[in-house]
């Protein structure tokens, strides 16, 4: 048997990380709260039921693994309460079993850079609750690596979309197929880095299979930033018709958030959309020798997937 790689989380990122590891010929196990495999779990992947908060269970399901991937997360409005303990329970299991620990992360901990490009080595300056949570969790991972508790690496992406995605894709792409308005956030004329989730999964699989990547933070190779208006134009070119757009600001999100906790939690993240939000992924591109999927190609694949669902 080939070496075992274990992924916590069967959401969008977990699926794409599994696909990339399968391509590399690895034995892949994904840990799901339900233990059930949906139709989008890649063929050949073992699905095991598990509770990510339970250290003993995590040790059991990761026994023999060479790498453990943290792609799971609580509900958006439960991050402060639950996320740190979940990640620590998975990290402790990886440490116990001598496995590498690879974390799928975002950019929240860098805070508002006032339009300056975000790079891996920039200081963490979070001004939001979720940014502080993410920053503390990332520091804990890197400290565990520095002290020899576990060999770890962190992969990050900007706002991503693609097949299997239930966030940007569901709100800002899928409705266009049905002739409905798509939902954007903040200003639509500011440059923004959009990552493609397949590239994010490829990055994590790369980190888990390259010893020289450990002990560092890496950004997902991503296309040149575009405004949301430009992204809509790419969508319109692919669909062959005009797309109706609705852009929600703080007032609208606050009102909708009275009924939808996820939207309520999105209010503090509007700074990402009201100024240039640019992620510099050149470090990964140089080190690993590949670039992010062009937005036109990513949009085509995503729309074709939406048509099938």
- Model pLDDT for residues 89-133, shown as the tens digit of each residue: 999 999 999 999 999 999 999 999 999 999 999 999 999 999 999
User: What is the C-alpha end-to-end distance of the chain, expressed in Å?
Assistant: 35
Q: What pLDDT score was predicted for residue 38?
A: 80
Chain center to CA of 303:
19
- Give pLDDT tens digits for 25-83: 999 999 998 887 787 888 899 999 999 999 999 999 999 999 999 999 999 999 999 99
Q: Which CATH superfamily is domain 4-159+194-223+281-288 in?
A: NAD(P)-binding Rossmann-like Domain (3.40.50.720)
Tell me the domain boundaries of the chain: 4-159+194-223+281-288, 166-192+224-276+294-308
Interatomic CA distance for residues 188 and 41, integer angstroms: 34
The whole-model pTM stands at 0.95
Cα torsion 124, 129, 130, 131 to 10°: value is: -10
Q: Does domain 166-192+224-276+294-308 have CATH number 3.90.25?
A: yes
The answer, yes or no, to whether residue 265 has pLDDT greater than 90, is no
What's the pLDDT at 264?
66
């Amino acid at each position: 048997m080939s070496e075992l790689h274990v992924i916590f989380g069967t959401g969008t990122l977990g699926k794409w990380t599994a696909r990339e590891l399968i391509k590399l010929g690895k034995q892949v196990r994904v840990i799901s709260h339900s233990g059930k495999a949906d139709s989008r779990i890649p063929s050949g992947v073992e699905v095991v039921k598990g509770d990510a908060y339970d250290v003993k269970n995590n040790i059991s399901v990761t026994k023999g693994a060479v790498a453990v991937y943290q792609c799971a997360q609580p509900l958006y409005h439960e991050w402060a309460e639950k996320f740190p303990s979940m990640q620590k329970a998975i990290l402790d299991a990886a440490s116990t079993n001598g496995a590498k620990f690879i974390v799928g992360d975002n950019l929240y901990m860098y805070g508002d850079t006032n339009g300056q490009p975000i790079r891996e080595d920039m200081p963490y300056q979070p001004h939001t609750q979720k940014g502080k949570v993410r920053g503390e969790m990332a520091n804990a991972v890197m400290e565990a690596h520095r002290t020899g508790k576990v060999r770890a690496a962190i992969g990050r992406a900007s706002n991503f979309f693609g097949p299997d995605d239930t966030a940007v894709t569901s709100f800002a792409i899928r409705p266009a197929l049905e002739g409905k308005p798509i939902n954007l956030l903040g200003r639509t004329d500011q440059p923004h880095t959009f990552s493609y989730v397949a590239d994010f999964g490829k990055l994590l699989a790369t980190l888990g299979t390259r010893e020289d990547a450990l002990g560092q933070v890496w950004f997902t190779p991503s296309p040149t930033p575009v405004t949301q208006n430009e992204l809509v134009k790419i969508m319109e070119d692919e669909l062959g018709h005009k797309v109706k757009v609705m852009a929600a600001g703080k007032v609208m999100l606050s009102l909708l958030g009275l009924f939808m906790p996820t939207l309520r939690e999105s209010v503090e993240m509007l700074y990402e959309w009201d100024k240039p939000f640019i992620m510099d992924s050149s470090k990964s591109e140089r080190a690993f020798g590949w670039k992010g999927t062009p937005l036109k190609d990513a949009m085509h694949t995503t729309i074709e997937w939406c048509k099938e669902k």
